[in-house]
Amino acid sequence: MKHIDAHIHIERGEYTLNWINEFVGKAVSQDMSEIWLLEHCYRFSEFVPMYEGVCAHSNYIDEWFHRKAGVFSILDYLNLIEKVRNKNYPIDIKWGLEVCYFKKFENLIYTQTKDLRLDFLVGSTHFIDNFAFDHKQEHWDGVDVDKIFKHYFEISTDLANSGLFHGIAHPDSIKLFGHKPSFLLNPYYDKLADALAKNNMYAEMNSGCYLRCGCEIGMDVNMIKAMKSHGVRVLTASDAHIPEDTGDNIITMEKILNEVNE
Ligand SMILES: [Zn+2]
Ligand SMILES: [Zn+2]
């Protein structure tokens, strides 16, 4: 069986072949056959304008953003990819971008990605309007959980219908701090899965939130069922941010996916 880790960040090291070799080495030792390497789009100056609103909304996000964002130009990344593509590796390597989805910046995303010739673009709902829900538990104080969950899935469905992406990252990461809405999420899962299927997109079974917060690993079982019943391709993904985490929990998530029936 082919083991895939479809979401690995390279952001904590230099753009060198040695750094990439560390991910490959770990992937081989974890029995992976394919790894998908990526960067957050905000690492590149070309995407910085999308974040003005979220930075203006919160000092915490403003500080976080200015520590991490706009450190390279997308050309630096393409040069690294070219260097890696010219070498031989024992496993397949795909290259992509994780793009924060903002409906009002669909044009910017389209313009900045259309000529990059990357292997994949994965869209993420990281912001609900200006609320950066996945940074700290205490940012949820006073938040209307029902409203936020509903809006999270509406934005994610817009993401799927935007036609900009090959896949959606961690499609129920809204649960990472253990919040639960008062209503059943099944209709939202169904709507999202339908939009993903119509746009020929994959969904990630992503263990990043589990690694960070110890919440349920990957997607909710009912979301897996919705993806399966709509024929959406599900890809296992570690969301590793360091080579050591490459391939983590992939086999466990494959088992879960196999056990869940429509
Ligand atoms: Zn993400
Ligand atoms: Zn990620």
Q: What is the pLDDT of residue 50?
A: 97
Q: What is the pLDDT of residue 20?
A: 98
* Nearby residues for ligand 2 (ion, Cβ within 5 Å): 98, 239
- Closest-approaching ligand to the CA atom of 241: 2
Q: What is the pLDDT of residue 221?
A: 97
Q: What is the pLDDT of residue 141?
A: 94
pLDDT averaged over consecutive 10-residue blocks of the chain (262 residues)?
96 97 98 98 97 95 95 97 97 98 98 97 96 93 97 98 98 96 98 98 95 90 98 98 97 96 78
Residue 237 in 3-state DSSP?
strand
Tell me, in angstroms, the distance from the centre of ligand 2 to residue 68's CA.
14
Residue 55 in 3-state DSSP?
helix
Q: What is the pLDDT of residue 261?
A: 83
Tell me, in angstroms, the distance from the centre of ligand 1 to residue 258's CA.
24
Cα 52–Cα 112–Cα 105 angle in degrees, nearest 5: 40
Q: What is the pLDDT of residue 251?
A: 97
Q: Which two tokens stand for residue 219?
A: 């997607």
Tell me, in angstroms, the distance from the centre of ligand 2 to residue 148's CA.
21
| pLDDT, tens only, 111-121 | 999 999 999 99
Q: What is the pLDDT of residue 212?
A: 86
Alpha carbon distances (Å) from 108 to 9, 48, 122, 139: 22, 10, 15, 28
Structural domains of the chain, ranges and CATH numbers in brackets: 4-259 (3.20.20.140)
